[in-house]
Structure formats: structure tokens, C-alpha cells
């Protein structure tokens, strides 16, 4: 059995999403999803690195700024799930290459106004929204607080070039996401580490 592929870059991701959109169009269906994580960072041009999957944060009803976001259904709709499976099989990807794991964030809450900052792209009958840069900074800081300082979440956060003001705003939101008494200190440590990395690059 051959090892499963990863997405090499944004072109690879776009190809998979386009194939899903074409299968949806052939079935007479259309869906809107909002994505986060490494695939979203690749598509927005912030990073260029391999990633295993595309992470769905939300489904969307409506279009553009009027779109209303809601948690992804569990399980995913049959037609969409079938398209994901077909594309995964044809491209040698894992069955979960397009998944709704980040939907757990709905339990803690999304950043206020997130829907209005989503940037939309169309891949056939699949509309894909990428969370705004400020929200990506929030999510990456949250993930980095649970990660190793040398982990990919910190690297992704640095790649977003957050300003001090953006880090402070992101930290305020992130600290409200976990009730553990030590969590705010973890967040501050990540912020300090990111700032030190920027200072080292500036020298």
C-alpha cells in the first residue's frame, strides 16, 4: 500500500477543491465552507508548506458579507462526503483530507464579526471562505499556546507578520478560550517568543 499524499502547495489544494466543486456541480448541489489552518494559510499566500488536510470551521448559508455561518453538520452531507472520498481516492489523499475537526471551536465561541472578514473563493459548486488575517492570528496563537515553541503553529504565526497591537488583541481573545489557571501564562509565553523571533530577524 502506497503512503498517502500530502498537499505540496496551494496549487495542489486548489486542484482538490476544484475537483470537489466539479463533482458537486454534476450532482446539482452547492455548498459553502469556511476553512482555517495550514491549507488556508497556503491559499492566502502566508506560507508555502506541505499540509495533510483542509480544515472546515463552518458552513455558510447565503453569500458574501450576508453569509450566515453555522457549525458543520455531523456527519457531512452525503453528496459532499462522496465527493471528498472520490477526490481523496483519485489523488491518493487520506479519507479525512477535508474534515470538520475545527468545528469544536464553536463550543468556546468564534471571534466577534468573523463572518464579515471571510474572503471567498469559488471552486465550481464549492464556495470556500478563508478566515480573515486577524482571525487567523487568533486561531494560530490559540493553537500555539498548546504547542512546542518550535512547532508549526508558532512558525505559521510568525509567517503572518503580526504587529504588537495584533498580538495583544489576539491574546485577549485567546485567554478567554481556556479556563485553566495556567493558560494565560502559556499565551504570554508564546507572544513573547514570537516577538523575540521578530527581534532576532531584525538584527
pLDDT in tens, 77-134: 999 999 999 999 999 999 999 999 999 999 999 999 999 999 999 999 999 999 999 9
pLDDT at 150 exceeding the cut of 90: no
pLDDT at res. 78: 98
Query: How, if at all, do strands 68-70 and 98-99 pair?
Result: unpaired
| In contact, 160 and 46? CB cutoff 8 Å | yes
| In contact, 63 and 30? CB cutoff 8 Å | no
Q: How much is the pTM?
A: 0.94
Q: What is the pLDDT of residues 29-84, one digit of tens each?
A: 999 999 999 999 999 999 999 999 999 999 999 876 678 999 999 999 999 999 99
pLDDT at res. 17: 98
Helix H segments across 104-182?
105-108, 114-117, 133-144, 152-159, 164-175
| In contact, 131 and 114? CB cutoff 8 Å | yes
Amino acid at each position: 500500500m502506497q503512503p498517502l499524499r500530502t498537499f505540496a502547495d496551494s496549487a495542489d489544494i486548489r486542484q482538490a477543491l476544484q475537483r470537489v466543486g466539479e463533482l458537486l456541480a454534476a450532482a446539482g448541489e452547492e455548498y459553502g465552507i469556511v476553512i482555517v489552518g495550514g491549507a488556508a494559510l497556503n491559499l492566502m499566500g502566508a506560507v508555502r508548506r506541505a499540509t495533510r488536510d483542509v480544515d472546515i470551521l463552518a458552513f455558510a448559508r447565503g453569500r458574501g458579507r450576508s453569509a450566515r455561518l453555522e457549525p458543520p453538520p455531523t456527519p457531512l452531507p452525503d453528496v459532499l462526503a462522496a465527493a471528498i472520498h472520490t477526490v481523496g481516492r483519485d489523488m491518493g489523499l487520506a479519507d479525512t483530507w477535508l474534515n470538520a475537526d475545527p468545528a469544536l471551536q464553536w463550543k468556546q465561541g468564534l471571534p466577534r464579526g468573523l463572518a464579515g472578514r471571510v474572503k471567498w473563493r469559488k471552486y465550481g459548486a464549492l464556495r470556500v471562505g478563508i478566515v480573515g488575517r486577524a482571525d487567523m492570528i487568533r486561531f494560530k496563537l490559540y493553537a500555539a499556546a498548546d504547542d512546542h515553541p518550535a512547532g508549526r503553529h508558532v512558525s505559521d504565526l510568525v509567517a503572518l507578520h503580526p504587529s504588537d497591537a495584533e498580538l495583544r488583541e489576539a491574546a485577549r481573545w485567546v485567554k478567554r478560550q481556556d479556563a485553566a489557571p495556567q493558560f494565560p501564562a502559556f499565551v504570554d509565553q508564546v507572544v513573547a517568543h514570537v516577538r523575540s523571533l521578530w527581534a532576532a530577524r531584525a538584527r
